[in-house]
Amino acid sequence: MVISTEDELAKLKDIGRICAIAVQTMAEALEPGITTAELDMIGRKFLEANGAESAPEVCYQFPGATCISVNEEVAHGIPGPRIIQAGDLVNIDVSAVKDGFFSDTGSSFIVPPVTPKIDRLCRDGKRALWVGVNQVKSGQPMAKIGNAIGAFAAKNRYTLITNLASHGVGRSLHEEPKELSTWPDPDETRLMTEGLVFTIEPFLSLGGHWAEDGDDPWTLYSEPRAPTVQFEHTLVATKNGPLVLTLAA
């Protein structure tokens, strides 16, 4: 989607903020003993109270309002009876639609106690996201995003999951530009156009290179198995740089 009116931008900001606060609200409830289904219900109620619907349910009939991935799960974890434990690494990914406009955001959290290695991974996962966001400007090559994140990962001795890409969003959950790499990709030749709406969502890992299917149709696991975090924003490319839509404030 390329934004063409102020009304479109206002509606994208609205759903972006709703998604961001949903993640924040769920994270505040994250504690040992809560199930992922209970956590998902908190997100569902918040979305509904703000006039929004779960995008994975609407678009793909996903069995939950949000994706909650724990420890060995990298992405698309199904909410259910799993009980959150002390020390768990939990990714909360919320995408939703309101008034015909979609947004998508996610963050990884640690349930205390926190080990230094995983604490650093989470902190650097967020840094990797912002390294990518800071490359955004209309007229610039999209490849700058993956190149910058790749350089950050290599410098800090991390790996990146290289089959889970960022994507266009706006009028639907996944649209052009499709398969926007958050790793160095020599085949990426597209440019960021003014008003283009898309996500940036690097998966930073302590050794994982690939996401593979598990026992159900949705949940993905790193290969090889390794702690992995994901941080994601939806944003707009402008001539002045990135306009981030999924901020809670």
- Adjacent-strand bridge partners of 196: 2
Count of CB atoms situated within 10 Å of the CB of 114:
15
Where residue 249 falls among pLDDT bands split at 50, 70, 90? confident
φ, ψ for residue 132 (rounded to 5)?
A: -70, -45
Count of CB atoms situated within 10 Å of the CB of 186:
9
pLDDT digits (tens, 9 = 90+) for 90-128: 999 999 999 999 999 999 999 999 999 999 999 999 999
pTM over 0.75: yes
Pairs from 108-113 (Cβ < 8 Å, separation ≥ 24) = 108/229, 108/230, 108/231, 109/27, 109/30, 111/30, 111/31, 111/32, 111/84, 111/85, 111/86, 111/87, 112/86, 112/87, 113/86, 113/87
The yes-or-no verdict on residue 222 having pLDDT over 90 is: yes
- CA–CA–CA angle 225, 229, 233 (5° rounding): 145
pLDDT value of residue 241: 98
Six token digits for residue 138: 């209309």
Q: Looking at residues 128-139, what average pLDDT do you find?
A: 98
Residues 40 and 94: their CA atoms lie apart, in Å, by 10
φ, ψ for residue 19 (rounded to 5)?
A: -60, -45
Query: Average model confidence (pLDDT) for the chain?
Result: 97
Q: Looking at residues 51-58, what average pLDDT do you find?
A: 98
Where residue 40 falls among pLDDT bands split at 50, 70, 90? very high
Residues 234 and 187: their CA atoms lie apart, in Å, by 23
pLDDT digits (tens, 9 = 90+) for 118-132: 999 999 999 999 999
